[in-house]
Structure 1
Amino acid sequence: MGAAPDTLPDTQALDTLYRGAPLSALVGVVEAFFLSVLFWREVPASAIALWLAAFAAVRGLRIALGMAYRRRATAPGTRPAFWARGVVASALAQALAWGLGSWVLLAPANLVAEMALHIGLAAVVLGSVAQLAHHLPALAAYAAGVFGPLAVRDLFVAQPLHYVLALASVLMALYVWHAGRAQARTIARAAAQQRERQELIAALQRENEATQLARQEAEAAHASKAQFLAAVGHDLRQPLNAMQLLAYTLQQPASCDRVEHLSASLMECASSMGAMVEGLLELSRLDAHSITPRPTRFALQALLDEMAGTFAVQAQAKGLVFSAQPSSAWVEGDRALLARVLSNLVSNAIRYTPAGFVRLQARTQGAVVEVSVEDSGVGIAAAELPRIFDEHYQIDHPGRDRSQGLGLGLATARRLCALLGLDLGVQSHPGQGSRFTLCLPLAAGVPEPAGSTLTATGAEDTAREPQALRRVLVLEDDASSRTALAEVLQGWGCEVTAAASLHEALHQEPGPQRPDALVVDWNLPHGVDGLMAVAALRNAIGHAVPALLVTAEATPGLQARAAAAGLPLLPKPIAPMKLRAFLQSHPPT
Structure 2
Amino acid sequence: MQNDFNLYLAEERAKNTAEHATVSFLSEVGQAVLTVGLIWKIFPAKQLLLWLVASVVISSIAFRFHKTMTPSMPQFSPQRWQRAVTGSSFCVGFIWGMIPVLFFAPGDITYLAFILALYTGYVSGALAVTFTHQPSFISFTLGITLPFAGRMFYEADVLYSTIGALAIFYVSMLIYVSKNMNSLFIRSTQSQYNNARLLRELAREKEAVEQAVASKDRFLASASHDLRQPLNAISLFVDALGPVQTKPLGHEILDKIRTSLKGLNGMLHSLLDISRLDAKAIDIIPKHVSLTTLVAQLCDEYAAKAGRIEIHNQIDEEIIVFVDPTVLYRVVRNLIDNAVKYTNEGSVTLSASKLDDHISLCIEDTGIGIPSEKIDSVFDEFEQLNNPERNREKGLGLGLAIVKRLCNIAKIGISLHSEYGHGTTVTLKIRSGLGVNIEGDLAIKENDLSGQLVVVIDDEQAILDGMQLVLSSWNCDVIIGESFESVNQLLTQQNKMPDLIISDLRLKDKARGTDVIEAIREEYNSDIPAILVTGDTAPENISEVRASGLSVIYKPVDLHELQTLVIAKIGRR
Aligning the two structures, in what range does the TM-score lie when normalised by the shorter sequence? 0.5 to 0.7
Q: Which amino acid aligns with 1:181?
A: G
Distance change >3 Å, CA 426–CA 279, structure 1 → 2: same
Mapped pair 1:199 → 2:188: yes
- Give the alignment partner of residue 334 of structure 2, picking from 333, 344, 361: 344
Distance change >3 Å, CA 579–CA 362, structure 1 → 2: same
Mapped pair 1:377 → 2:360: no
Give runs of aligned pairs for residues 157-556 of structure 1, distance below 5 A. 166-167=107-108, 169-191=109-131, 194=182, 197-211=186-200, 256-287=247-278, 290-291=279-280, 294-301=283-290, 305-306=293-294, 308-309=296-297, 312-319=300-307, 320-321=310-311, 323=313, 325=315, 328-331=319-322, 335-420=325-410, 423-441=413-431, 449=437, 466-467=446-447, 470-471=450-451, 473-478=454-459, 479-491=461-473, 496-508=478-490, 518-523=501-506, 527=511, 529-530=513-514, 533=517, 536=520, 540=524, 547-553=530-536, 555=541
Secondary structure at the counterpart of residue 577 of structure 1 = helix
Q: Which amino acid aligns with 1:405?
A: G
TM-score by length of 2: 0.56
Residue pair 1:352, 1:377 contacting (<8 A) in 2 also: yes
**Alpha-carbon distance in structure 2 between the residues aligned to 1:361 and 1:486:** 45
Q: Which amino acid aligns with 1:392?
A: F
**Alpha-carbon distance in structure 2 between the residues aligned to 1:244 and 1:381:** 42
Residue by residue over 1:237-272, the C-alpha shift from the partner in whole angstroms, topping out at 9 and shown as x without a partner, is: 99999999999xxxxxx9944443333333333333
**Alpha-carbon distance in structure 2 between the residues aligned to 1:226 and 1:490:** 41
Q: Which amino acid aligns with 2:335?
A: L
Residue by residue over 1:280-301, the C-alpha shift from the partner in whole angstroms, topping out at 9 and shown as x without a partner, is: 23323444xx206645441132
Q: Once the 2 structures are TM-superposed, how far is the Cα of residue 570 of structure 1 from its aligned partner?
A: 0.9
Residue by residue over 1:366-398, the C-alpha shift from the partner in whole angstroms, topping out at 9 and shown as x without a partner, is: 343334333333322212212322322221102
**Alpha-carbon distance in structure 1 between the residues aligned to 2:527 and 2:343:** 45
Q: Once the 2 structures are TM-superposed, how far is the Cα of residue 581 of structure 1 from its aligned partner?
A: 2.5
Q: Which amino acid aligns with 1:488?
A: V
Distance change >3 Å, CA 228–CA 518, structure 1 → 2: closer
Q: Once the 2 structures are TM-superposed, how far is the Cα of residue 409 of structure 1 from its aligned partner?
A: 0.9
Secondary structure at the counterpart of residue 373 of structure 2 = coil
Which structure has the greater CA radius of gyration?
A: 1
Distance change >3 Å, CA 286–CA 356, structure 1 → 2: same
Q: Once the 2 structures are TM-superposed, how far is the Cα of residue 173 of structure 1 from its aligned partner?
A: 2.0
- Give the alignment partner of residue 560 of structure 2, picking from 577, 581, 586: 577
Give runs of aligned pairs for residues 107-126 of structure 1, distance below 5 A. none
CA RMSD for the aligned pairs?
A: 5.1
**Alpha-carbon distance in structure 2 between the residues aligned to 1:467 and 1:182:** 101
Sequence identity of aligned pairs in percent? 20
**Alpha-carbon distance in structure 2 between the residues aligned to 1:229 and 1:497:** 33
Residue pair 1:469, 1:495 contacting (<8 A) in 2 also: no
Residue by residue over 1:183-208, the C-alpha shift from the partner in whole angstroms, topping out at 9 and shown as x without a partner, is: 11122124466465443321222234
**Alpha-carbon distance in structure 1 between the residues aligned to 2:420 and 2:218:** 30
Q: Which amino acid aligns with 2:552?
A: L
Q: Which runs of 5+ in 1 are unaligned?
A: 5-163, 248-253, 453-458
Distance change >3 Å, CA 356–CA 385, structure 1 → 2: same
Q: Once the 2 structures are TM-superposed, how far is the Cα of residue 232 of structure 1 from its aligned partner?
A: 12
Residue pair 1:298, 1:447 contacting (<8 A) in 2 also: no
**Alpha-carbon distance in structure 2 between the residues aligned to 1:239 and 1:397:** 26
Greater relative CO, 1 or 2 (CA 8 Å, sep 6+): 2
Q: Which amino acid aligns with 1:430?
A: Y
Secondary structure at the counterpart of residue 261 of structure 1 = helix
Q: Which runs of 5+ in 2 are unaligned?
A: 1-22, 28-104, 134-181, 238-244
**Alpha-carbon distance in structure 1 between the residues aligned to 2:500 and 2:230:** 36
**Alpha-carbon distance in structure 2 between the residues aligned to 1:415 and 1:218:** 23
Q: Once the 2 structures are TM-superposed, how far is the Cα of residue 557 of structure 1 from its aligned partner?
A: 3.6
Residue by residue over 1:117-163, the C-alpha shift from the partner in whole angstroms, topping out at 9 and shown as x without a partner, is: xxxxxxxxxxxxxxxxxxxxxxxxxxxxxxxxxxxxxxxxxxxxxxx
**Alpha-carbon distance in structure 2 between the residues aligned to 1:185 and 1:365:** 66
Secondary structure at the counterpart of residue 573 of structure 1 = coil
Residue by residue over 1:476-530, the C-alpha shift from the partner in whole angstroms, topping out at 9 and shown as x without a partner, is: 2222211122233345565544333344434427569887655343455685644
**Alpha-carbon distance in structure 2 between the residues aligned to 1:528 and 1:221:** 29
Distance change >3 Å, CA 546–CA 295, structure 1 → 2: closer
Q: Which amino acid aligns with 1:276?
A: M
Residue by residue over 1:10-47, the C-alpha shift from the partner in whole angstroms, topping out at 9 and shown as x without a partner, is: xxxxxxxxxxxxxxxxxxxxxxxxxxxxxxxxxxxxxx
**Alpha-carbon distance in structure 2 between the residues aligned to 1:517 and 1:233:** 29
TM-score by length of 1: 0.55
Q: Which amino acid aligns with 1:373?
A: I
**Alpha-carbon distance in structure 2 between the residues aligned to 1:580 and 1:410:** 28
Distance change >3 Å, CA 277–CA 513, structure 1 → 2: same
**Alpha-carbon distance in structure 2 between the residues aligned to 1:442 and 1:172:** 86
Residue pair 1:322, 1:358 contacting (<8 A) in 2 also: yes
Secondary structure at the counterpart of residue 345 of structure 1 = helix
Secondary structure at the counterpart of residue 424 of structure 1 = strand
Secondary structure at the counterpart of residue 264 of structure 1 = helix
Q: Once the 2 structures are TM-superposed, how far is the Cα of residue 365 of structure 1 from its aligned partner?
A: 2.1
Q: Once the 2 structures are TM-superposed, how far is the Cα of residue 328 of structure 1 from its aligned partner?
A: 4.0
**Alpha-carbon distance in structure 1 between the residues aligned to 2:404 and 2:205:** 24
Distance change >3 Å, CA 524–CA 556, structure 1 → 2: closer
